[in-house]
Amino acid sequence: MSAPLRIAIAGLGTVGAATAQILRDNAAIIAARCGRSIEIVAASVRDPGKKRAVTLDGIRLEADALALVAPDVDVVVELIGGQEGIARALVERALDAGKHVVTANKALIAHHGAALAARAEQQQTTLAFEAAVAGGIPIIAAMRGGLAANRIQRVAGILNGTCNYILTTMERERRDFAEVLADAQKLGYAEAEPSFDIDGTDTAHKLAILASLAFGVAPDIAAVHCEGIRRLSLTDIDYAASFGYRIKLLGLATLEDGALLQRVHPCLVPIAAPLAAVDGAFNAVQVDGDAVGRVVIEGAGAGGAATASAVISDLMAIAREDRYAPFTLAASQLQTVPPAALAVHQGCYYLRLTVKDAPGALADIAHAFAAQHVSVHSITQRTTEADRGAQVIVITHATNEAAIAHAVQHIAALPISLAAPVVLRIEP
């Protein structure tokens, strides 16, 4: 058996501790599958005296994470998080020193992935980030390996467990967004400051990485159109169900006519579609390829053990001396393509309009859509007794985003309008 692969872990929080525990619990099977053992020789921690779920016997503890870039370390595992600061400095120093790097840091890869990949290639080392997208789901390995022969046509995914948990709980328990979010925070499913999750930022980081792998482009987080789930109500969930849909926060990427459209927003998904069945904190990624067709992978998208599983899969690939470019293509071959404007997106739409229950209201709404050449599939009016208003639910035929935006702007300005319209896209 070859010499052990010596690793250092920066950060022994939930994921770091789980990584250390799995490496010890499953040491024999990991060594058998790699042809060598994986040994933790060092770790960085902010509080060396803190009690942890995993024993640290035989592990050198460093207060300074940069000290992990040492002669007795082959791989630095970065589990600190954040796109800048110590996490970025550590990864850059490790790569420049010829060390392999494994990270779960989606923000770092989404913002600086191409530059870090170029650094790794220059030093002929590995930059691996399976754990940065969808937790324990091996989607990056699948796209870099099993799906590599395909021209990818579309990537879509439920990439944030917090949002999926909230939407599932709202639907199942008949509760409003604010109430479910508060409970999710108490249970640890959502952070005390939940914006990163519920406003779609976390999903956007992961989508930028998937789009890079799918379409051979440099990650471009700035080009991702991002909407969260704050405005969703139980009313929308109920109306969606009545039309045969469930609401999911999706990340979607398509390359059309040389332009890349990346978008994160709530969608109505047909109830029979695979992504509609993904509940709770689970994640799922759907990839459409020209040869393989549609592939859907579902699993635990977060949590210490699931994410640690992905971290260790990268370590095992390094131990086996597997060689691959971080984004499938060499960094110099990654294209910079123009972002597609959301206005050109074609699809069907769901709109919930709150208007005065007055004669001519529906006619005014219909005129606004007709003026933009938007064909309406169905229109339903339901009176709300509390404010003598009405909920008008509109499902359109396929149209473009710009037309919908103009129609909605016109409707919102009408005297009959009582609240800002809710607009959701329908995805096949």
Residues with catalytic roles? 206
Three state DSSP letters for 137-177: CCHHHHHHHHCCCCCEEEEEEECCHHHHHHHHHHHHHCCCH
Strands 259-270 and 376-384 turn out to be unpaired
CA distances for 268 relative to 5, 226, 401, 407, angstroms? 47, 16, 15, 20
Q: Which amino acid is at 264?
A: V
CA–CA separation, 14 vs 26, rounded Å?
Answer: 18
Cβ neighbour number for residue 50 with a 10 Å cutoff = 8
Torsion of CA 68, 94, 318, 18, to 10 degrees: 40
Length reported for the chain: 428
399-415 in b/e form (b: 16+ CB < 10 A) is bbbebbebbbebbeeee
∠ CA 276-250-331, nearest 5°, is 130
Task: Answer yes or no: are the C-beta atoms of 299 and 283 closer than 8 Å.
Answer: yes
Tokens of 266: 């709530």
Q: Is 64 exposed, middle or buried (0-12, 13-18, 19+ CB in 10 A)?
A: exposed
Q: In terms of Cα–Cα distance, which of 96, 168, 82 is closest to 125? A: 96
CA distances for 89 relative to 10, 95, 152, angstroms? 12, 10, 34
Q: Is 208 exposed, middle or buried (0-12, 13-18, 19+ CB in 10 A)?
A: buried
CA–CA separation, 92 vs 125, rounded Å?
Answer: 12
Cβ neighbour number for residue 15 with a 10 Å cutoff = 25
